[in-house]
Chain A
Amino acid sequence: DAGVIQSPRHEVTEMGQEVTLRCKPISGHNSLFWYRQTMMRGLELLIYFNNNVPIDDSGMPEDRFSAKMPNASFSTLKIQPSEPRDSAVYFCASSRTGEGSQPQHFGDGTRLSIL
């Protein structure tokens, strides 16, 4: 079975540019999570969806970040405008249900560098 698929794997762009990260969750999983990972702060939850509906976006750093899930098989995380401090690895994960005890399946991440 295909796992969580993220694209692109790497993105290098100049500050001020719009960045769009994409995620395809595992088929049949109802919950989708976006994380950001840095050495300093570890793995931080940005936002998560249950049945395509955003449940908690309190981790989104500021208005420059937005996320959408138009259907059960696709989600995007957008940063506009991007800043150097946004440089990090961004992970998407999915789980079968929205219960916190459910294991999460992660993609391989997008390594984002903002120059």
Chain B
Amino acid sequence: TQLLEQSPQFLSIQEGENLTVYCNSSSVFSSLQWYRQEPGEGPVLLVTVVTGGEVKKLKRLTFQFGDARKDSSLHITAAQPGDTGLYLCAGPNYGGSQGNLIFGKGTKLSVKP
């Protein structure tokens, strides 16, 4: 069974601090997606990483896919209150029928002004 473990589960920091959240699995994924979910809304795709070792940047957010394609990290530089939300990683499910994503349980980030 494919599982995606995210850590930490909760993170509360002050504006301006840097942080890293992790998404780990014992399974190899062909790609991983990162979503952000704000309160009262559905998850919104931030980025997809496809190649082992790949690094993608989205303004102050840096996403990395592990060389073995079993893990990924999200680093936020100089966090702002607008970064507050639930960060979810997801990967294609090849264990059962194809076509759906497996989601981690997420990291709930709170950035205080």
Q: Let me know if B22 is at the binding interface, CB within 8 A.
A: no
A58 x B99 contact (CB < 8 A):
no
**How many A residues touch the partner, as a band?**
20 to 34
B42 x A93 contact (CB < 8 A):
yes
Q: Let me know if B44 is at the binding interface, CB within 8 A.
A: yes
Q: Let me know if A4 is at the binding interface, CB within 8 A.
A: yes
Q: CB-defined interface of B83-113 with A at 8 Å, one 1/0 digit per residue?
A: 0000010011110111111011110000000
Chain A contacts of B103 at CB under 8 A? 42-43
Contacts A43-B88, A98-B99 given; indicate if A106 touches B105 (C-beta within 8 A).
no
Interface size in chain B (residues, C-beta < 8 A)? 26
B100 x A56 contact (CB < 8 A):
yes
Chain A contacts of B91 at CB under 8 A? 100
Chain A contacts of B41 at CB under 8 A? 108-109
Please measure, in the bound complex, the distance between the C-alpha atom of A50 and the C-alpha atom of B99, giving whole angstroms. Answer: 8
Q: Which of B31, B42, B98, B100 contacts A109 (CB 8 A)?
A: B42
Q: Let me know if B66 is at the binding interface, CB within 8 A.
A: no
A91 x B100 contact (CB < 8 A):
no
Could you show 25 A-B contacts with beta carbons less than 8 Å apart? Answer: A42-B104, A42-B105, A43-B43, A43-B88, A43-B106, A45-B100, A48-B100, A50-B99, A56-B96, A56-B99, A56-B100, A91-B42, A91-B43, A93-B42, A98-B98, A100-B93, A100-B94, A100-B98, A100-B100, A103-B45, A104-B101, A105-B45, A106-B44, A108-B41, A108-B42
Closest 9 CB pairs of A and B: A100-B92, A106-B42, A42-B105, A98-B99, A43-B103, A103-B45, A56-B97, A101-B31, A106-B43
